[in-house]
Amino acid sequence: MKSILLKLPLIFSLSILVSCAINLKSANGADGTKGENATNGKIGKNGGNGENGQDQALINLSKSPEQNTQKTKTPNIDTTLVRNHLYTLASDEMEGRATGTPGIEKAAQYIENEYKKIGLKTFQNLKTYRQNFEQKGIKMFNVIGLLEGKSKKDEIVIVSAHYDHLGVKKSGDGDRIYNGANDDASGVVGVLTLAKYFAEQNNNERSILFVCFTAEEMGLIGSKYFGKQIDPKKFVAGINLELIAKEPKTGPKTAWLTGFERSNFGEIIQKNLKGTGYKLFPDPYKSFNLFFRSDNASLARLGVPSHTFSTTPIDIDPDYHKVTDEAETLDVSILTETIKAVFVGTASIINGKDTPTRVKLEK
């Protein structure tokens, strides 16, 4: 989410720049201290799980009767895949992914290569996955991949996250890299993982556009540019992911959604998650105005029911917009489970069964 200054009661004052970040120190380094994941589960030093070095902790969300009637099957999302994406995108090699730097170029290339492996198409008249533009004297680009729909090809659902972060401190001792693992490498991991599994299912009735936005930390620049290039009437829903790798104050197996009351998008997700053991709640931080602080806002202002999923207790998170936002501070199992819940929760929208109401901005 983009940076904002929040004035909280006399007890404390937090300067919150709402954008999503976490630092990962190596592409496949140890997760946690002495082989222990930050929250739960034993993690081997090479990304393995427990005694045999293999991380096969597949998330098992049982399906409700409603979901059993849907075409989309619940995938077994491998946490090893999730971890590999996370540790790569949040590694020191990416140098904090600041817009206009060599670090964000490396991140973009990684995302493009994954899109290509998945088999995504380019969007509109773009010749590559990049949507290039220039602003503030900086060359920028969103990274966009398309999975075409079947019977409702012209109706689009966007799955998004921002892949930029804060870069490197200009001076100081010790660690100076803002790795942005939770903010928002975690969201990008969600985009890549969902793209893979929706493509493998190959039964999405609506088209799905997977977008990694640039320059969110500079004021939602990438998503605002994107919004000017589209016909919003073709966009049925926006699924934005940010800070999704820590346990929220609502407890295990839960997430929260910004702007819950502004459309019935959240109610659709709740219906689809019944019987799975996973729950979705409205944003508990209303005073932070988070609905307008992430890339979902750029589409919501055009009327698209676009909302942000998050799990992080940002009011007390010690790593937000700090160099300590690294992969080792995250729980890969929470990230994996959240991605799977988004997959299950949005299935009826992807398959054309449900259409969220257009967003209301006046509330």
The per-residue pLDDT for 339 is: 98
The per-residue pLDDT for 26 is: 36
Separation CA 297–CA 216 (nearest Å): 11
The per-residue pLDDT for 78 is: 87
The per-residue pLDDT for 28 is: 37
Q: For the purposes of burial, counting CB atoms within 10 Å of the CB of 355, is it exposed (0-12), middle (13-18) or buried (19 or more)?
A: middle
The per-residue pLDDT for 76 is: 85
The per-residue pLDDT for 362 is: 78
Separation CA 54–CA 215 (nearest Å): 36
Please say whether the beta carbons of 265 and 237 come within 8 A. yes
Q: Name the region of 150 (left: φ>0; alpha: ψ -120 to 50; beta: rest).
A: alpha
Q: What is the pLDDT along the chain (363 residues), one digit of tens a residue?
A: 655 433 334 333 333 333 443 333 333 333 333 333 333 333 333 333 333 333 333 334 544 434 434 445 667 898 999 999 999 999 999 999 999 999 999 999 999 999 999 999 999 999 999 999 999 999 999 999 999 999 999 999 999 999 999 999 999 899 999 999 999 999 999 999 999 999 999 999 999 999 999 999 999 999 999 999 999 999 999 999 999 999 999 999 999 999 999 999 999 999 999 999 999 999 999 999 999 999 999 999 999 999 999 999 999 999 999 999 999 999 999 999 999 999 999 999 999 999 999 999 975
SS3 labels along the chain? CCECCCCCCCCCCCCCECCCCCECCCCCCCCCECCECCCCCEECCCCCEHHHCCCCCCCCCCCCHHHHCCCCCCCCCCHHHHHHHHHHHCCHHHHHHCCCCHHHHHHHHHHHHHHHHHCCECCCCCCCCEEEEEECCEEEEEEEEEECCCCEEEEEEEEEEECCCCEECCCCCCCCEECCHHHHHHHHHHHHHHHHHHHHHCCCCEEEEEEEECCCCCCCHHHHHHHHCCCHHHEEEEEEECCCCCCCCCCCCEEEECCHHHCCHHHHHHHHHCCCCCEEEECCCHHHCHHHCCCHHHHHCCCCCEEEEECCCCCCCCCCCCCCCEHHHCCHHHHHHHHHHHHHHCHHHHCCCCCCCCCCCCC
- Which residue in this structure is represented by tokens 């817009």? 99
Total-model pTM:
0.83
The per-residue pLDDT for 217 is: 98
Report which of 119, 26, 16, 65 is spatially closest to residue 327, judged by C-alpha positions: 26
Separation CA 77–CA 61 (nearest Å): 11
The per-residue pLDDT for 3 is: 52
